[in-house]
Chains A and B, each alone.
Chain A
Amino acid sequence: MSEIMIEMKNIQKHFKNNHVLKGVDLTVNEGETVALLGSSGSGKSTLLRCINLLETPDEGEVRINDFSFSADKINKHVKLEARRRTAMVFQNFGLFANKTALENVTEALITVHKKSKAEANEIGKKYLEKVGLLDAANQYPSTLSGGQKQRVAISRALALDPKIILFDEPTSALDPELVQEVQRVIRKVAEERVTMLIVTHEMDFAREVADKVAFMSEGQILETGTPEEFFKNPKNERTKKFLESYMQRFAYSI
C-alpha cells in the first residue's frame, strides 16, 4: 500500500480579481509520476506553487505526506516545513548564479539539513553523476548549457531526498535540441519511483512518463486518468478540444 505524498483539497487562489484556482483537488501517491496538463493560464503552475507555498492559497487544505496545513494557518514555519519536504525544478532553472554546480547541489544540504561539508560533497557528487554532470562539478551556471543547467537543478532536487519533486515546465525554456537530454533524465528518475508532479506542455513526454495525467482548465481539474484513458478516450468536452487543437499543431507543421 503506497502512501499519499500530496493531497490537496478545495484549493482556491485569487490574484486580485482573477480567480485562478477554483477549488482544486489533487492526490499524488508515493512513487507516482503525475503530469499536469492544460493550456497556458489554466492555473497549473500556480497549483504547483501552492504546494511549496511560493504562492499562498486563499482556501483549502494541503497535505505533504506527514505534514498537513490549511490555507488560513500558513505562517513562516509552515512554509519552511512544506519546502523542506519538497523540491522544485523551475522553468528557468533557478540555479544559484554565485555557486558552482556542485555547490548548487550541496548548498541546502549544508545550510538546511545541517550536513557536514564532506558529507554534502559526497552526496552532491553522487547526484551530479546520476545526471551525467560530475565533470561539470566546479563550473558556474553561466558556463553551462540550458540542458546542463536543468540537469544540475534536477540533481539538486534529488539530493534533498524530498517527498515529491515539483517540475514547473522543466523543458519550456530549452532549445529544442536540448529538450531530449532533460527528458531522458526525468524519465530515469521516474523509473526509480521518485514521486513527481510535472507541469508540462510536452504531450508525448507526459504520455510516456506519467502514471497519471490531470487536465486543468480555467482553474479546475476537469479530468484525471491514466495516459492511456486520457489521450485515447477523453471524457470531457474541453479535454477533447484541447487534445484536438494540440494534434492540429502537427497537422500545420508540414
Chain B
Amino acid sequence: MGKIFDFKYMIEIIPSILKGIPYTMGIAVVSFVIGIGIGLAGALFKIYKVPVMNKVTGIYVSFIRGTPLVVQILLIYYAFPILIKFINYKFGTHIDISWIPAVVFMFIAYSLNAGAYLTESIRAAIQAIDKGQMEAAQSVGMTMSQAMIRIILPQAAKISLPVFANFFIGLLKDTSLAFTAAVPEIMGQAKIQAGRASRFFEAYIDAALIYWIICIILERILAVIEKRNKEKS
C-alpha cells in the first residue's frame, strides 16, 4: 500500500497549479469590470424605468438569479458553436469556432452572471443616496447626467465598496467552475494534477490554500482602500 498522504507530491505540484492563476484572475477581473458596466446600465434602466430596457433588465436579472452558474456556463459554452454554425449557414461565412479560446466564453458567461447581481447592488446603492443630493445638484443647474456622474455615482460607489469587495471575492471563487468548460484555471490545474497520480486530496488542499491566500491578500488590499476612503469624508 502507498502512502496515506503524499506530502512531497502535494508540494511538487504547486507550481503547476499556480499556472491556473492567470485564468482565475483573468476571468474574475474581466467579468467584474464588464459586470459593473452591465450592472450600472441595468440599474439606471430600472431606476428611470426606461421603456423596454426596464423589462429586458427585469427578465435578464430574474433568469440569471434563477438558474445555477454551471448551467449558464454550459449554455454559453454550447450556444456559441451553434450560433456560429448558424451564422456560417445563413451568411455563407467560414468562421471556425476553434479559433475562439474557451476562456472567451467564460468571460461572457461570468460577465453576464456578474452583471445581473451587480444590477441589483448598484440599484440599491444609488437609491440609498439621499434624494436631496440630486435635487441640490439640479438646483445649481447641473444636468441629470452631470449630477449622476459627479455627485450621485461617486457616493454610491463609496457605499458599494464593501459589497463590491465581497462580490469580487465570491466571483473569484466561482471561477473554479470554469473547468467545466475546459479552462485550465486553478481548480482545473488541480484536477489535472490530481488525476495524474490519483492524489486528489493533495491537489485539492493545494487549490484550497491558493484560493485562501489570494482572498486574504485581497481582503488586506480592500481594508486599506476602505480605510483611506473613510478618512476622505
Contact = CB atoms under 8 A, between A and B. Distances in A.
Interface stretch (A84-92, A204-212, A243-251): A84-92
B140 A97 contact: no
B15 interface: no
B143 A94 contact: no
Contacts of A201: none
B136 interface: yes
Nearest to A105: B140
Classify chain A: how many residues form its interface, as a range: 20 to 34
Which of B133, B136, B139, B232: most chain A Cβ within 10 A?
B139
Interface in B130-185: 130, 132-133, 135-143, 146, 150-151, 154-155, 158
B150 A111 contact: yes
Interface in A109-158: 111-113, 140, 142, 156
Contact of B141 (A54, A92, A98, A160): A160
Contacts of A169: none
Given A90-B132, A92-B132, A98 B139 contact: no
A131 B154 CA distance: 28
B233 A97 contact: yes
A83 B140 CA distance: 6
B154 A52 contact: no
A107 interface: yes
Contacts of B136: 88, 90, 94-96
A142 B130 CA distance: 14
B142 A87 contact: no
Interface string A73-105: 000000110011011101011111111000000
A241 B135 CA distance: 34
A140 B133 CA distance: 14
A97 B137 CA distance: 11
A111 B142 contact: yes
Contacts of A108: 140-142
Contacts of A156: 140
Given A90-B132, A97-B233, A112 B155 contact: no
B135 A54 contact: yes
Interface string B95-135: 00000000000000000000000000000000000101101
A96 B137 contact: yes
Q: Which of B135, B136, B137, B140 has the most CB of A within 10 A?
A: B140
Contacts of B133: 94, 96-97
A218 B155 CA distance: 38
Contacts of B143: 80
Contacts of B135: 54, 90, 94
Contacts of B130: 92, 97
Given A90-B132, A90-B135, A140-B233, A98 B154 contact: yes
Given A83-B140, A112-B141, A112-B142, A107 B150 contact: yes
B183 to A, nearest CB: 39
A52 B233 CA distance: 29
A161 to B, nearest CB: 12
B153 to A, nearest CB: 9
Contacts of B232: 140
Contacts of A87: 139-140
B151 A54 contact: no
A143 to B, nearest CB: 8
Contact of A54 (B139, B158, B233): B139
B233 A98 contact: yes
B139 A52 contact: yes
Interface in B203-233: 232-233
A54 B140 CA distance: 11
Given A80-B143, A140-B233, A142-B233, A94 B138 contact: no
Nearest to B233: A140
18 contacts: A54-B139, A80-B143, A83-B140, A83-B141, A87-B139, A87-B140, A90-B135, A90-B136, A94-B133, A95-B136, A96-B136, A97-B130, A107-B142, A108-B140, A108-B141, A111-B142, A113-B141, A160-B141
8 A-B pairs with the lowest CB-CB distances in the bound complex, closest first: A94-B136, A108-B140, A84-B141, A88-B139, A112-B141, A83-B141, A98-B154, A140-B233
Given A92-B130, A108-B142, A112-B146, 19 more contacts: A52-B138, A87-B140, A88-B136, A88-B139, A90-B139, A92-B132, A94-B132, A94-B133, A94-B135, A95-B136, A96-B137, A97-B233, A98-B151, A98-B155, A107-B140, A112-B142, A140-B233, A156-B140, A160-B140
